Amino acid sequence: MKQKESNFVSKVFLTISIIIATYMLIFTAGFSAVFLEILRDISFSLNFKVKFVITLIESLTFASVQDMAIFIGTISALVFLKYPIGGKEARENLREKVPFYDWILFIMVLIPFLYVFFVYDSLALRQGIVYPIDVIFGSIAILLTIEAARRILGLPLILLTIGFLFYGVYNSNFDIKNIVSMMYLYNIGLWGTAVWVATFYIYFFMFFASILKQIGLGEYFINTATSLAG
In the prediction, which pLDDT does 88 show?
54
- SS3 state of residue 96: coil
pLDDT band at 137 (very low <50, low <70, confident <90, very high): very high
In the prediction, which pLDDT does 126 show?
77
In the prediction, which pLDDT does 81 show?
85
Q: Residue 42 and residue 119: Cα distance in Å, rounded? A: 34
Mean per-residue pLDDT, 107-132: 87
The lowest-confidence range among 7-16, 29-38, 57-66 is 29-38
pLDDT at 34 over 70: no
pLDDT at 124 over 60: yes
> If you average pLDDT over every residue of the chain, what do you get?
78
The pTM score is 0.76
Most distant pair of Cα atoms in the chain: their distance:
65
In the prediction, which pLDDT does 169 show?
83
Higher confidence at residue 165 or residue 91?
165
In the prediction, which pLDDT does 43 show?
59
Condensed to tens digits (0 to 9), the pLDDT of residues 156-193 reads 888 888 888 888 888 878 788 888 888 888 877 888 88
Mean per-residue pLDDT, 125-148: 88
Report the sign of the C-alpha dihedral through residues 39, 45, 49, 55, in that order.
positive
In the prediction, which pLDDT does 57 show?
58
pLDDT at 146 over 70: yes
Which residues are CB-neighbours of 190 under 8 A, at least 6 positions away?
Answer: 68, 72, 141, 142, 145, 183, 184
Identify which of 133, 162, 135 has the alpha carbon closest to the alpha carbon of residue 146. Answer: 162
pLDDT at 144 over 90: yes
Identify which of 117, 1, 3 has the alpha carbon closest to the alpha carbon of residue 68. Answer: 117
